[in-house]
């Protein structure tokens, strides 16, 4: 089962992923991203390997190098060595591959793109969050090739979280 989740920023895509991970009895791996906040202000994003807990910086306002995206610079080293590597490992070792998220920052990395393309093709179960408006070919493929595309809103997030859990745990899937 390949499930894509999309929606506005801040609607709860990562929270849905975390709740699904806590609820499904599948061995899961891959990556999640989270905001880095200082004094209540977002200054960047972290990338976390679900399997090992290893954490790095995906993007930050104060990085001196890396592709620029808005006020952030993308840290390709951590994205590839933690994020893409976690996806690659999960394809081999896990029952559920998680990619949170396929968005403009992550799409700066060819290794990340290749890992997600491979997960789309090979993973038995895939849960991927995808930027709602990206025109990148991979974001388009995810929105159109996954078995389910879930559009998350603040009003439906609890219901959609439960739907994803049921899709991944129902015996007849």
Sequential pLDDT tens for the chain (173 residues): 999 999 998 899 999 999 999 999 999 999 999 999 999 999 999 999 999 999 999 999 999 999 999 999 999 999 999 999 999 999 999 999 999 999 999 999 999 999 999 999 999 999 999 988 889 999 999 999 999 999 999 999 999 999 999 999 986 65
- The whole-model pTM stands at 0.95
pLDDT at 10: 87
Q: Where are the beta strands (DSSP E) in the chain?
A: 2-7, 28-38, 41-49, 55-60, 68-69, 72-74, 96-102, 126-130, 148-152
**CATH homologous superfamily, domain 2-169:** P-loop containing nucleotide triphosphate hydrolases (3.40.50.300)
Instruction: Go through 114-152 and write b for each residue having 16 or more CB atoms within 10 A of its CB, e for each that does not.
Output: ebbeebbeebebbbbbbbbebebebbebbbeebeeebeb
pLDDT at 9: 87
Burial class of residue 154 in the structure, from the number of CB atoms within 10 Å of its CB (0-12 exposed, 13-18 middle, 19+ buried): exposed
DSSP class of 72: E
Distance CA 81, CA 111 (A): 9
The domain segmentation of the chain, as residue ranges, is: 2-169
Strands 96-102 and 148-152: unpaired
User: Distance from CA of residue 43 to its chain's centroid?
Assistant: 19
85-93 vs 110-122: helix crossing angle, rounded to 10: 20
From the CB of residue 83, how many other CB atoms can be counted at a distance below 10 Å?
A: 30
Of all helices (H) and strands (E), which one includes residue 21? helix 13-23
CA distances to 28, 71, 78, 90 from 35, rounded to whole Å, are 22, 14, 15, 23
């Amino acid at each position: 089962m390949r499930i894509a989740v999309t929606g506005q920023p801040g609607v709860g895509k990562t929270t849905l992923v975390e709740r699904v991970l806590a609820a499904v009895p599948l061995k899961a791996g891959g990556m999640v991203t989270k905001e880095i906040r200082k004094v209540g202000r977002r200054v960047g994003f972290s990338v976390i390997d679900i399997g090992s807990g290893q954490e790095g910086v995906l993007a930050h306002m104060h990085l001196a190098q890396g592709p620029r995206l808005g006020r952030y610079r993308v840290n390709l080293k951590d994205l590839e060595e933690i994020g893409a590597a976690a996806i690659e490992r999960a394809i081999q070792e896990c029952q559920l591959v998680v990619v949170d998220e396929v968005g403009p920052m992550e799409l700066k990395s060819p290794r990340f793109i290749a890992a997600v393309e491979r997960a789309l093709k090979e993973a038995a179960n895939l849960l991927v969050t995808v930027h709602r408006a990206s025109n990148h070919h991979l974001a388009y493929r995810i929105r159109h090739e996954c078995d389910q595309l879930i559009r998350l809103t603040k009003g439906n997030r609890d219901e959609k979280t439960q739907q994803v859990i049921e899709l991944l745990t129902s015996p007849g899937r």
